[in-house]
Amino acid sequence: MEIRSPETDTEFEAYYDLRWRVLRQPWGQSPGSERDELDDDATHVAGYDEVKGLVCVGRLHAVETGVGQVRYMAVEEPLRGRGLGQAVLNELERLAKRQGMSVIVLDAREAAVGFYRRNGYEAVDEGHVLFGEVRHSKMRKRLDGSA
């Protein structure tokens, strides 16, 4: 699998479509609801399978000096549990370090908390409830390994 940023308009359309199908469509949200005003300046990572094409996505944006936020992590449903989310997160963390970030924060959906814990993220607070039912935990990780 190739992990890189989408490049063409067509690749970006597919990137946002996967984000929408996994993170918005199941809650009846219309196409477009998956994007926000930070997308233009954010770092986008996608995984391309030789046969299946785009299979996983994730985004990093700067919150403040030295701090980045990971959002919109999504893997095609039948392909979960095979290391694809891991590959996207690893690449986002690598790029965060390259951008001088030392801390990553994120709001993890309840179902994904275990995935982030396994990757060294600590739950630091309760987060928001999306669409009236999707609970989140605020999580944090220092990229240099210190507490």
Interface residues with ligand COA (CB under 6 A)? 22, 73-75, 80-86, 108-109, 111-112, 114-115, 118
User: Minimal distance in Å, beta carbon 39 to ligand COA?
Assistant: 16
Q: Which two tokens stand for residue 44?
A: 């986008």
| Helix, strand or coil, per DSSP, at residue 99 | coil
Gap between the Cα atoms of 74 and 126, Å rounded: 21
Gap between the Cα atoms of 13 and 11, Å rounded: 5
User: Minimal distance in Å, beta carbon 23 to ligand COA?
Assistant: 6
List the beta bridge partners of residue 56.
47, 75
> Which one, 32 or 81, has the nearer CB to ligand COA?
81
> Which one, 111 or 147, has the nearer CB to ligand COA?
111
> Which one, 56 or 101, has the nearer CB to ligand COA?
56
User: Minimal distance in Å, beta carbon 68 to ligand COA?
Assistant: 15
User: Minimal distance in Å, beta carbon 112 to ligand COA?
Assistant: 4
Measured CA angle at 118 (ends 72, 82), to 5 deg: 65
